[in-house]
Every structure is written in C-alpha cells, then in structure tokens.
Amino acid sequence: MTLFLGVDLGTSSLKIILGTETGELLGSTSRPFAISSPQAGYSEQDPDEWRQAFEQAMLDLIILFPEVAEASLILGFSGQMHSLVLIDQAGNVLRPAILWNDSRTSAEVQQLREVFGDHLLSIEKNIPLEGFTLPKILWVQKHQPEIWAQTWKLMLPKDYLVYYLTGQVYTEASDAAGTIMFDIEKQCWDEELLQQLAISLEQCPDIQPSTKIIGEMNAEIKQRLGLKGKVQLVMGGADNACGAFGNLTDSQTQGLISVGTSGVVLTYETEKSKKDLGKYHYFNSVIADQNYKMGVTLAAGYSLDWFKKFLAPEESFTAFTRLAEDSPIGSQGVTFLPYLFGERSPYFTPNLSGALLGLRAHHTRSDIVRGVMEGIAFSLRNVYENMGIQSATSFKVFRITGGVVKNPFWLQLFADVFQTKMEVLSFDEGPAYGAMLCAVAGKNDTQLMATWQAANQVKMIYRSNAEQAGAYQEAYERFKKLSDQQASAY
C-alpha cells in the first residue's frame, strides 16, 4: 500500500494532508510557527521552526492514522514563494529566512529597474518587486557581505525542507521562476544575469521536474519519526502553482481565485502572445511546458479580519459578515480600497494606502462591512482585467478557494462582480492538495492520477445574476476610478 502526503509550508503554519491509492482524502494535521519583525519592513522566519513543525505534524499524523508508519509513502511539497534561505557548505542556515512579504529592498528594486529592467522583462517575464527573491540577495550582498561570502547554496522554503529530509539541493521551475533570475522559456537559471550580479551558478539549486521522485528520506529522520516503509519525495511546486494544479482541470476555460490573507487570480496561459507583460506575474507551472499568469491583492481576507477587530472583536465571523446582507449592492456609496500593505497588482507600489471613502452620517455597520467585502472582490476583478485578458468574462468559470468558500453570500457576490460562474470543489485543502497530486503523479500511473482528479468534484456552483451584475458594475467603476486616482499620485 502506498499513501500520498501533501506538505504545504505556508507563511504561518505547515500543513500535511494524507490520501490513499483509491482517491480518498483521509485527513490532515498542521503546526504553526512565528514571523519575526525585528524592525519596520522586516519579515523573517527561522527555518529550524519549519523542520520542527514538519516533524511534529508528521508525528501527529501517525497518531491519527497509524497505518502511515508501516506504509510506503510519497511526499510532495508546496511552499511560500520568493522567501530566501542561505546555507553554508556544512548545511547550516546562515541567517533567518527573508520572507516574501519583507519590504526592506526598495533600493535594490530601484537598481534592478534602472539597470536590468528590460532584461528582466524579456527573460524573466516580470518586473522587479520587493517581494521577489533576487532583491533580497542583493540586499544581503550589500548589507551582510560576510554572510554572502559564506553562502554555499541559496534556496526557497520548500526546497530547504526537501534538503533537510534528503540532503539534496534541488528546486523546480515554478519556484525558481519567482526568484526573477530564471529564464522562463528555457527553464534554466539566467547565467548572464547571475554573472553580472556576482551570483555563481553553483550557488543555485539544480532544477528538477515537479513530479519526479528525487530521493528518499534520510534514514535517521525516518527512524526518529517511526517510519518503517519506503519514504520517497517529489519536489512539488510553489504554493499558487500547486493551488492551480489541485483545482483546475481545463486550462482553456477555468481560472482560479483564492481568497485568504492575500487574494490571487490565476489563469493558465492560453496563447503564446505575452502582451502586457509587467502588469501581472508570469511564471512556470508544475505542469511541463505550461505557464500561468497571476495577479495578487496583498490584503484580501486580511482586510476583513482587520476591520472586524475594530468593529466587532467579540462577534463571531459568521455573524459579522452576515451584516453585509442588510446593505444594498454598492453599500450606499461606501467604497473600500484594500491597500493596507500598499499593493501588488495592478499598481505595483508600496505607497498605496487603504481607504474607506464616501462615508456619510446615514451609513451603518452593515454598509461598511459590505463595502469591505465588495472592495476585496472589486480589487481582484481589477487585477484580472490587467492580466492581458480583454474582459472579466473571458473565462467561462472560476474555481474559487480559501476562506471565502465558507460564505455563500460572498461567493454569490464574486460571481456577480466577475459576471461569470464560480465553482466550489469538494476538497478545499489549498496548495497542500496540489502538492499531494504532485506526489501521486510521481507514481507514473495514469489511472491513479485520473482517480484522484475525478475525486475532487464540484460541490457548489454560483451563477451570475444579470440584474445584480449590472448594479455591481456601477460600484466597480467607482472603485476603479478612486484606485486609479490614488495610484496616479505615485
């Protein structure tokens, strides 16, 4: 018997899900870890906490499902993109990992734009941003040269976990693409760029396919966890690439919307013309020769959580969001701009700020709550319409995932704002599910893969209501105008 595990190394926790050869999802475990912010704009983590979280979550899984200890296992991995881990020749971590949401690298981003902007857009297919890996490397070179001098390998978070478990230093295309020093079309490190920036090719991990078995778990770790069967690993992919792999079955007609702390709109590339590059992220997927476009709203679900802390800290989240149903479409003129962390897509500036506009004396809590929920959906539609796609109705259906799936009202709001169908799937396990499918694919069994793809059925469909969609259009245009006005100041 072979069991399949999907391991997702997120920003605040590590999650493991467990599946069988018959397409049954047995359960999951998770363990949290902390983010450190030693000064303004800094966001770091200790990779040792990732290792501890993995081992603790595995031990929890074995307690829940004792068969894990005896079975053959294949593990697939997903993880937070862009974050930088540096190790020395002995495998020691040289400094805390600099995370994707760290914003200390504005000077390095400006340098890259001025000197390498055209090159990055041509080869890496992206513009430099504070979140990406390359500016973090330049920051370490400048501010911690003694650390850089000791650096044997640089890697991404999930790749560090694979290194810890196998001793192998690998990555794969979907995570490598997010470093912005990876040739998207040739699927190799950009040696010309590396040379100009004093980064040696030897410091970069070797590239492996996302679904190829790359090694077995270290015997000492297996013994510590009490695992008796063969334990093999596949690389998996970046979190959003795994999210797409786990949710989308038709690259031509389906898009993905994820609403968690941040919000993501993702579509697979459907044509070879790459118009409007720079207005969205363009990365390799975990599927061979399949790329995707992606846009990000940094404070999506976070905005709603943030407002709840002020307006109703003791109220349940269900009761709080139900208030929105007492306000009409358009929130009686209240418009929320969710730029609490600045913004990624489509404005790409850390200088934007959140705003609650149009407030009058007659407005209620319901108007504000609905305004926030609408603003998040409007922001993601704005992201989508700047992804080189002609209109918000280009894709016939979106698969939607994240905390939003618990809220039918919000799901219908999304369907009306995007003016298309929204589907909710049976398994809403996020990137961990895509990572597990990478492990399944590592078995090279087409029937097994078909069994798993068929297992994740559509559970609920939300269709756009033409009358409501028309009413939302006016509110969306107001949102877009106000957002553009603020962005034009920068």
Provide, for the chain, the percentages of residues in helix, strand and coil under a 3-state DSSP scheme, each rounded to the nearest 5: 40, 25, 35
CB 430 within 8 A of CB 3: no
| Band of residue 65 on the pLDDT scale cut at 50, 70, 90 | very high
Q: What percent of the chain is modeled with pLDDT above 90?
A: 87
- Whether residue 391 is predicted with pLDDT greater than 90 in this model: the reply is no
- Any domain includes 445: no
Q: Where among 185, 211, 235 does a domain terminate?
A: 235
Residues 181 and 297 in one domain: no
* Span 442-450, average pLDDT: 93
Number of domains in the chain: 2
Burial of 399 (0-12, 13-18, 19+ CB in 10 A): buried
Tokens (6 digits) for 285: 């997927």
- Whether residue 394 is predicted with pLDDT greater than 80 in this model: the reply is no
Q: Given this model, what pLDDT does residue 392 score?
A: 47
- Any domain includes 85: yes
- Any domain includes 449: no
Residues 220 and 285 in one domain: no
Query: Would you please indicate which residues are annotated as catalytic (active-site) residues?
Result: 239
Q: Given this model, what pLDDT does residue 311 score?
A: 87
> In this structure, which long-range contacts are made by residues 223-227, counting pairs with CB atoms below 8 Å and at least 24 apart in sequence?
224/55, 225/55, 225/58, 225/59, 225/62, 226/59, 226/62, 226/69, 227/68, 227/69, 227/73
Residues 281 and 380 in one domain: yes
Q: Which residue has the higher pLDDT, 273 or 218?
A: 218
CB 459 within 8 A of CB 311: no
State yes or no: cis peptide before 346, omega within 30 of 0. Answer: yes
Domain that holds residue 196: 2-235
pLDDT, one tens digit per residue, over 223-246 is 999 999 999 999 999 999 999 999
- Any domain includes 443: no
pLDDT, one tens digit per residue, over 293-342 is 999 999 999 999 999 998 899 999 999 999 999 999 999 999 999 999 88
Name the strand (E) or helix (H) holding 116. Answer: helix 106-119
Q: How far apart are CA 215 and CA 3, in angstroms?
A: 16
Residue of 172, 135, 145 whose CA lies nearest to 156? 172
Residue of 386, 360, 355, 385 whose CA lies nearest to 372? 355
User: Poorest-confidence range of 147-151, 193-197, 443-447?
Assistant: 443-447
- Any domain includes 242: no
pLDDT, one tens digit per residue, over 138-186 is 999 999 999 999 999 999 999 999 999 999 999 999 999 999 999 999 9
**pTM of structure:** 0.92
3-state SS, residue 346: coil
